Chains A and B, each alone.
Chain A
């Protein structure tokens, strides 16, 4: 059975690579917490719970095998955030990288924003492949020469060296968030970006670190009246005045920064009325939105809640235009999922390059793709077993009840510790990066 993909032809997904340790004993610091392709797709960044960022670079295309897309190799690794301690509140601040966002490339260097719960950092990743040699006053190893031994003068020259990739923190944006940062989003003006915590959204200029503008504040005067928090926010891909933020109540608000300095009043409110027949103890939890993403065109919004993915048309606020069930068979298991905390997992979602297909993760290392144009969906698995080079991924099926067919997996045998929360799709090609707990899988479509 074929997979799904954009462009009409069926895409078959093949295993390409897997990054990360093989052993089952996962160190907590190695748990991947975010995955993001750069704007060109040449670079792929991951952040982990230990505060590290690892960047992979796509090798240049192999001229002899043009149909086989090249692999991603480690390009740079650096420690972005360290654990900190807030002495005033007696709280430890985790170093876990919550989000990475790339800036569009303006010169030879690459820039990305990475954030933990409290601090955002702008990193410059630059290459050095030459070094100056032939100093007059210094030896090659750096020791200073005795000036009296200098008899001739020469001009130092650049000589090639082994490629070295340096990551240096260029800006640190700190002390602007009281609550935990959950999102960052770069504006299409490439000058500003927003950062979001549970109750507030701040607008920053990339050059200025000592101040930011608060543009949304939903903190009630009395915290006892708190009923919802902000769960994600994103700038519109083309309109630099527009952004959206999602809430724990399942609503999305679109705001226009031209309307007022403080965007507490939304321009649009996207909300689907709750189905009263589905009401349960956990209704509020499963309706909380864990991720919101604009389509590349800017016409649509995608939201992910616990059980479904919804596509919204910006022109229609009262209901989504499409709803896809990710794992509806979990609805009857919500009680156990609440007990083991899985119900609080925050799944992300992503669009493919032409907005025809959306992807999101699930449990048992399954991930799902929904082809909007062809109205088809597929479940695939990221596992070591199906990791032979260029092996085609076999679609998986979960048996919700009744007689289990061959090759189907029953709901009760799903491994809820193996969850795919973070996925990313190359901006142009059919290359996807899927993060399991501590491994990064890269799949590509099968070359013709």
Chain B
């Protein structure tokens, strides 16, 4: 884990500074220094890791809070007995039925738990490795609801709308796992991870689903290796996640930025216009992060 306490700057600033250094290195005398830029890319990777972790954690916290609020509102409307029954059915599908649901539920774990099981199946810090959801118009009545996370294009996705109505009526989502390339159709909006945790918290009477979930969690947490057999459905991409190639952002690989140092200008020149837009004035790290994928993709290896 990267110790961020001693650094006066936050991850976002570090990313901006690093990108500025790489940009400046293009014009310095003597040509691009491979060693220095390699080191800068390591800082960039580390900062990005921390940034994504923070965003991820924040997203989860927000999700859980909103779900709690949603379900609490529902509870006020529904008959508690009906709710328990619904919970039982849906949690069967959600958590007991198949492989993915377990991991989805697993994904519902609070961020700290998530950290523990991350190596198993979820490639943190890359919410970039989120499912590519095919746009099933029939699926969600609210069209821009959750899992339309497209990693191939760097367009921002609106934050998942967790209003109660959406929750109820989103029936089906198809997700593509970018690592295993398995397409999975997730039935019923409640299969989305958000359904499990709040139910766990709010369904006092629904012992069954809660237990079942716990079992799954336990199974999930204690045997991370087994989880690999599941198709790990990836998490929703955050709105600012730009990366086009999830697998390439494996933390053990140096980022594509390294390929700058080959022939010098060729790759960079082609994306210069895009990049300089992001660099004008203040280095807006958000913009930089958004354009990062496109920029690195364009770099021509030496």
Contacts and interface: CB of A to CB of B under 8 A. Distances in A.
A223 B42 contact: no
B1 A248 contact: no
B2 to A, nearest CB: 6
B78 interface: no
Contact of A94 (B14, B30, B42): B30
Given A90-B264, A91-B264, A335-B8, A281 B30 contact: no
Contact of B258 (A223, A282, A334): A223
Interface stretch (B31-39, B58-66, B144-152, B235-243): B31-39
Contacts of A259: none
B282 to A, nearest CB: 15
A230 B263 CA distance: 19
Which 7 residue pairs across A and B have the least CB separation, nearest first? A284-B42, A94-B30, A223-B301, A91-B31, A198-B34, A281-B46, A335-B7
B30 A279 contact: no
B264 A89 contact: yes
Contacts of A117: 30-31
Interface string B64-86: 00000000000000000000000
B46 A225 contact: no
Given A180-B34, A281-B50, A283-B2, 15 more contacts: A91-B264, A92-B31, A224-B248, A231-B35, A248-B35, A276-B1, A279-B3, A280-B2, A280-B6, A281-B2, A284-B42, A288-B39, A331-B6, A332-B6, A334-B6
B200 interface: no
A224 B301 contact: yes
A25 interface: no
A90 B265 contact: yes
Contacts of A334: 6-7
A141 interface: no
Contacts of B38: 226-229, 248
Contact of B30 (A90, A180, A338, A341): A180
A318 B109 CA distance: 40
Interface string A227-249: 11101000000000000000010
Contacts of A107: none
Contacts of A92: 29-31
Interface string B241-264: 000000010000110101101111
A279 B1 contact: yes
A285 B4 CA distance: 15
Nearest to A182: B35
B9 interface: yes
Contacts of A331: 6
Nearest to B24: A341
Interface string A323-345: 00000000110111011010010
Given A91-B264, A281-B46, A224 B259 contact: yes
B60 to A, nearest CB: 23
A340 to B, nearest CB: 10
Interface of A: 86, 89-94, 96, 117, 179-180, 182, 198-199, 222-229, 231, 248, 276-285, 288, 331-332, 334-336, 338-339, 341, 344
Contacts of B43: 281-282, 284-285, 338
Contact of A279 (B2, B29, B253): B2
Contacts of B301: 222-224
Contacts of A198: 34-35
Nearest to B261: A223
A278 to B, nearest CB: 8
A277 B36 CA distance: 25
Given A223-B258, A225-B254, A227-B254, A285 B42 contact: yes
B7 A280 contact: yes
A156 B3 CA distance: 79
B302 interface: yes
Contacts of A225: 253-254
Given A226-B38, A248-B38, A180 B7 contact: no
Nearest to B8: A335
A339 B31 CA distance: 21
Nearest to B9: A335
Interface string B182-211: 000000000000000000000000000000
B35 A285 contact: no
B17 interface: yes
Interface in B100-117: none
A284 B39 contact: yes
Nearest to A277: B3
Contacts of A182: 35
B261 to A, nearest CB: 7
8 contacts: A89-B264, A180-B34, A180-B35, A224-B254, A248-B35, A280-B7, A336-B8, A339-B9
Contact of B36 (A278, A280, A339, A344): A344
B47 interface: yes
A224 B34 CA distance: 12
Nearest to A332: B6
A339 B21 CA distance: 9
A74 B7 CA distance: 47
A335 to B, nearest CB: 5
Contacts of B263: 89
A199 to B, nearest CB: 8
B33 A180 contact: yes
Contact of A179 (B2, B17, B34, B46): B34
Contacts of B256: 224
Contact of A229 (B35, B253, B259): B35
Contacts of A344: 36, 39
A130 to B, nearest CB: 43
Interface in B263-281: 263-265
